[in-house]
Amino acid sequence: MSDASQAFRVPRDELERFMLAVLARAGADALSAEAVTRALVTASRMGTDSHGLRLLPHYIHALKGGRISGAPEMHFERRLPATGYLDAGDGFGHLAGYTAMEHAAAMADEVGVGAVAVGRSSHFGAAGCYALAAAERGLLGLAVCNSDPFVLLHQGSRPFHGTNPIAFAAPVEGENPFLLDMATSSIPWNRVQQYGAIGRELPDQVAADSAGGVTRIPAEVAALLPLGGSDFGFKGAGLGGMVEVLSSTLSGMLHGFRLLPMGGPDMTTPRGVGHFFLALRPDAFAPGDPFPEGMRRYLEDLRAQPGRGSARVMAPGDREWGCRARRDAEGIPLDSANQRAYAELAETLNVPALQPVV
């Protein structure tokens, strides 16, 4: 969806103002509201619209239902010098994520690596937010999370893993970080719905019908295929499994197949989502700290590669940083569905409506 088609755009600080107010009115404490706002605005600025402002109404619903605690007692225990466990107290996954990565980063500062498993958490938005938080501190960051089952196993016929994302970020001196943030399916579930709504066929090898056979017809889709499709989906499914092992088994949570559905109808019972975060100090490996210069040379070579036809080759994150600059200048777009949802939030929670760029 191109920004140009969306006339309603809001400045970043106005979006932040609105989100903070709405979250506070719905019962979130200051730390929770700030973390959710930070994550959603980060995603929306970068163009990750599936995990940006679109999710606010869902979170408010879960908060009001009681599934998510707006004033959680989060408890961090450092178990060993490089590891820890965060009990997120059924609070917002965004607060859990930023908190856990902060602990991982502090351990990395001290011993070179920090790894934190998080239990009793909830949906944390875009995994990239937390990897990015590490990179903004000069660290390599990895963030993974399980989610409810939409994706087939390789040669399976029933959804088992979630879209279980992997986010990895690395700092680049004087530039925006290297940032990979990917689901281990080819497409997200809401892409199926979007294509269905406009009567468009899906790409090949991304979705399956109820028997596990590949289909390109949105109405027939019962599950997503793992990245790699029917021939090479053992790779996407294996990566999804790695994410599952790191996020639910280390934290002692239920694995994705047994999670309560994100979409409800039960909005009262905490879901017990698990996450995993890793931070690494890049100067704690080879002597002489070759990392900054190595990243520079690598990205220079990468960006100089010739594209196919008129395409331009980009590093992971380049598209997102371009979008962020554009949206910081022009405002963040809301499509008509989001405009309606935000107007409703303003009315229901008695918060001044979102003011667009004029």
CB of 66 to its own copies, least distance (A): 24
Q: Yes or no: say if 117 and 57 are a contact pair by the CB < 8 Å rule.
A: no
Could you tell me the smallest distance in angstroms from the CB atom of residue 262 to its own copies? 19
Distances (CA, A) of 29 to 41, 92, 96, 177, 327: 18, 11, 14, 31, 28
Query: How many whole angstroms separate alpha carbon 307 and alpha carbon 354?
Result: 41
For residue 290, the minimal CB distance to its own copies (Å) is 3
Closer to its own copies by CB, 89 or 236: give it: 236
Beta carbon nearer to its own copies, 204 or 344: 204
Give the DSSP letter of residue 67. Answer: S
Q: Which is nearer to its own copies, 74 or 82 (CB)?
A: 82
**DSSP letter for each residue of 165-215:** -EEEEE--TTSPPEEEEE-SBSS-HHHHHHHHHTT-PPPTTSEE-TTS-B-
Q: Which is nearer to its own copies, 95 or 223 (CB)?
A: 223
* SS3 category, 353: coil
Integer Cα distance of 122 and 260 in angstroms: 11
Residue pair 129/42 in contact by the 8 Å Cβ criterion: yes
Query: Using CB under 8 A, which of 182, 260, 262, 357 touches its own copies?
Result: 182
- Write the Ramachandran bin of 47: left for phi over 0, alpha for psi from -120 to 50, otherwise beta: left
Q: CA-to-CA distance for 122 and 261, rounded, in angstroms?
A: 11
Site string for its own copies, 208-247 (x = CB under 8 A): x--xxx-------------xxx-xx-xxxxxx-xx-xxx-
Closer residue to its own copies (CB): 265 or 288: 288
295 is a site residue for its own copies (CB under 8 A): yes
Chain residues 7-46 in contact with its own copies, contact rule CB under 8 A:
none
- Show the binding pattern over residues 40-69: x = contacts its own copies (CB under 8 A), - = does not: ------------------------------
Q: How many residues form the binding site for its own copies (CB under 8 A)? A: 95
Among 4, 265, 307, 329, binds its own copies (CB under 8 A): 307
Closest of 164, 160, 108, 163 to residue 134, by C-alpha = 108
Instruction: Name residues contacting its own copies, limited to 105-164 (CB under 8 A).
Output: 110-117, 119, 140, 152-158, 160
**Amino acid, single-letter form, for residue 26:** A
Smallest CA-to-CA distance from 189 within 161, 212, 169 is with 161
> Residue 79 or residue 200: which is nearer to its own copies going by CB?
79
Which residue, 13 or 308, is less far from its own copies as judged by CB? 308
Given candidates 21, 45, 50, 85, which one binds its own copies under the rule CB under 8 A?
A: 85
**Buried b / exposed e across 17-33, counting CB within 10 Å, b at 16+?**
bbbbbbbbbbbbbebbb
Which of 71, 252, 264, 268 touches its own copies by CB under 8 A?
A: 252
Which of 206, 224, 259, 354: binder of its own copies (CB under 8 A)? 206
**Least Cβ distance, residue 181 to its own copies (angstroms):** 9
Smallest separation (angstroms) from its own copies to the CB of 25: 34
